[in-house]
Amino acid sequence: MKYFAKWIATGTSPDKYRAKIYYEGWKRKIKFATIESISEHYTSEEFETILKELDAKCYRNKRVSFSGIVSVQDASKWSGLWIKACDESGNTLKLDTMYDRPVVGTVSKKPCSCIMDIPYDAEKIYIGFLLCGSGYAKVENIEFQVIEHKE
């Protein structure tokens, strides 16, 4: 398990969302994070995300898992976890947004995960939690770990 600090909130329309990150302990491990819509109207492209940047060097050629427990209330579009591996120029090498297995509507405590083989030329890994559209979303029990060493 990795302890995280310096999570950031960003998105396409920051004035339409309220993101909060709650930490525990002196290592600043994230306890849980929430994203709440605060506007009445959203386009299909508007979202808010809470993300963390990691150095990919020690994860190259390894399979990693980013997981957490996601809860949503009245999520109009979708919510979920995501993971992205980028090269030294910032180009996306691999991406999993959970778009094909979203958490929508009202769901209490759904275990979610993204599993990715990190390419040998990855320089950065981004992990995050997202709410697209209106509603409220929460993630807790966040873990990022190596689950398999690739040859």
pLDDT tens digits, 82-134: 999 999 999 999 999 999 999 999 999 999 999 999 999 999 999 999 999 99
- Lowest mean pLDDT segment, chosen from 17-26, 38-47, 63-72, 114-123: 17-26
Residue 4 has pLDDT above 50, yes or no: no
Give CA separation, 113 vs 26, 66, 120, in Å.
Answer: 26, 6, 22
Residue 9 CA to residue 19 CA, distance in Å, equals 6
What pLDDT, on the 0 to 100 scale, is given for residue 40? 86
Average pLDDT, the chain: 91
Place of tokens 């959970």: 98
Parse the chain into domains and list their residue ranges.
8-149
Residues written for the chain: 151
Q: Domain 8-149: which CATH class? A: mainly beta
Is residue 32 within 8 Å of 140, Cβ to Cβ? yes
- For residues 8-12, give the mean pLDDT: 91
What number is the average pLDDT over the span 61-79? 96
DSSP string, 32-70: EEEEEE-SS---TT-EEEEEEEEE-GGGTTEEEEEEEEE
Residue 45 has pLDDT above 90, yes or no: no
pLDDT for 26 beyond 70: no
60 φ/ψ angles, rounded to the nearest 5 degrees:
-60, 140
Question: Residue 22: which residues within 8 A CB-CB, separation 6 or more?
Answer: 30, 31, 32, 33, 34
Q: Which residues of 38-49 are buried (b: 16+ CB within 10 A; e: fewer)?
A: eeeebeeebbbb
